[in-house]
Amino acid sequence: MSARTKARKRALDVLYGADLRQIPLNQALATEAERAASEPQREASWLYAREILDGVIDNGDEIDELIETYSQGWTLARMPVVDRAILRIGIWEVVFNDEVPDGVAISEAVEAATVLSTEDSAGFINGLLAKIAQTKSAG
């Protein structure tokens, strides 16, 4: 597993935990940062995970608006918690991180959904992220 894949998983864990426990993402990030400081062997995955989490915090309203706009009848509240977290990471990578090719971001999100979520989630996430990537490149 690549360092970035591990970082995405780590960011997903933080997003999922914050959402599930209904605590502010900033608070969950601070807790994870403290933990990361005591685990220097995991620093490689923490640096990119931190970048993802900071990006989701900084662009959260726009990310959630994109999810609502392109999810065709699915509100954020109706989605599984893990799907919301996967989509937030995927959208941040597609829209706000030029270092990651859209295809890689989408593929990583679909893989996470295949392993961690419902039978229908991978297709849903793939379609939603592909629409956003297509809209981004058209605009």
**Comparing 92 with 44, which gets the higher pLDDT?**
92
Look at residue 95 and tell me whether its pLDDT is greater than 80.
yes
How many whole angstroms from its chain centre is CA 53?
8
Look at residue 2 and tell me whether its pLDDT is greater than 90.
no
Protein fold of 3-138: N-utilizing Substance Protein B Homolog; Chain A (1.10.940)
Cα(80)–Cα(78) distance, integer angstroms: 7
- What pLDDT does residue 74 have? 84
Give the model confidence (pLDDT) of 13-71 as tens digits.
999 999 999 999 999 999 999 988 888 887 778 999 999 999 999 999 999 999 999 99
% of the chain exceeding 70 in pLDDT: 99
- Residue 110: pLDDT band with limits 50, 70, 90: very high
State which amino acid sits at residue 125.
I
Domain segments of the chain as ranges: 3-138
- Single pTM value for the model: 0.95
